[in-house]
Amino acid sequence: MDGTIVDTEQYWIEAEHALVSAHGGRWSHEKAMQLVGQSLVFSAGILQEAGVDLEVREIIDTLTGHVVHQVRESVPWRPGARELLDELHTAGVRCALVTMSEAPLAREIVASLPKPYFEFLVTGDTVAQGKPHPEAYLKAVELLQQHDPELDHRHCVALEDSAPGVAAAVASGVLTVAIPHIVPLPHDPRRATWDTLAGRTVADLEGLLALRHEFTGAGL
């Protein structure tokens, strides 16, 4: 979600700077980049190391509260995200939102969309292990299977922008498309890479799946 559908990373970074400064510490751009795509529990630990004298739960609630407030003022959509979601919805393609943000923020983003694009949400507070662990994506596939037992990971595509997110998706076995945003991603033949979602269509995703089925086990 953050960085792929909406460009909320700046909101998170603002919240991190404010929190560290309030506790007499110093926060840098380099440290902020370490948290992109990570679970909030992981991020809270790094902020504690930077001098934030709060419990993990307090840190998560403070950061999330700041971003929710900002999103209510303005949702910064990523180029092409809403258009692709709308085309997927029209085509009858089932979509799930898999994010390390917690449910309150994810619900705010979803509520601002004009249609019920997402069948369900898998959020950071509903899994035991955050990205880069594949649990969130494995859970999403399992939930999709409840209404379609013949579906499995080979029929699914994940769109991700961060290294932890890409790692989680690849480890789950789903076809993974990286759309790098804040942090450059290293080359990885196990995934596809798009510069942007702008102009991307359902046909593009179907094409990638067709290639995967044709060359099972080969790099993209």
What CATH code is carried by the domain that includes residue 152? Answer: 3.40.50.1000
Q: What pLDDT shows up at residue 5?
A: 95
Least confident of 14-23, 107-116, 164-173, 181-190: 181-190
Q: Which domain holds residue 62?
A: 9-73
In a domain, 219, yes or no: no
Do residue 19 and residue 44 come from a single domain?
A: yes
Do residue 34 and residue 95 come from a single domain?
A: no
Q: Global pTM?
A: 0.86
In a domain, 4, yes or no: no
**pLDDT bucket at 216, cuts 50 / 70 / 90:** low
Per-residue pLDDT for 220 more than 80?
no
In a domain, 220, yes or no: no
In a domain, 117, yes or no: yes
Per-residue pLDDT for 40 more than 80?
yes
Do residue 89 and residue 198 come from a single domain?
A: yes
Asked if residue 114 has a cis previous peptide bond (ω within 30° of 0), the answer is no
In a domain, 42, yes or no: yes
Do residue 204 and residue 99 come from a single domain?
A: yes
Which structure tokens are listed for 95?
């979509």
Report, in this order, helix, strand and coil percent for the chain, each rounded to 5: 50, 10, 45
With tokens 């702008």, the residue in question is 198
Q: Is 169 helix (H, G, I), strand (E, B) or coil?
A: helix
What CATH code is carried by the domain that includes residue 63? Answer: 1.10.150
Do residue 133 and residue 198 come from a single domain?
A: yes
Amino acid at 139: K
In a domain, 126, yes or no: yes
**pLDDT bucket at 218, cuts 50 / 70 / 90:** very low
User: For residues 55 and 82, what is the distance between their CA atoms, to the nearest angstrom?
Assistant: 36
pLDDT in tens, 100-150: 999 999 999 999 999 999 999 999 999 999 999 999 999 999 999 999 999
Do residue 113 and residue 91 come from a single domain?
A: yes
Number of domains in the chain: 2
Q: Which residues does 77 contact at the CB level (< 8 Å), separation at least 6? A: 5, 6, 7
In a domain, 201, yes or no: yes
Give CA 150 to chain center in angstroms.
26
Which structure tokens are listed for 62?
């403070």
Do residue 93 and residue 69 come from a single domain?
A: no
In a domain, 3, yes or no: no
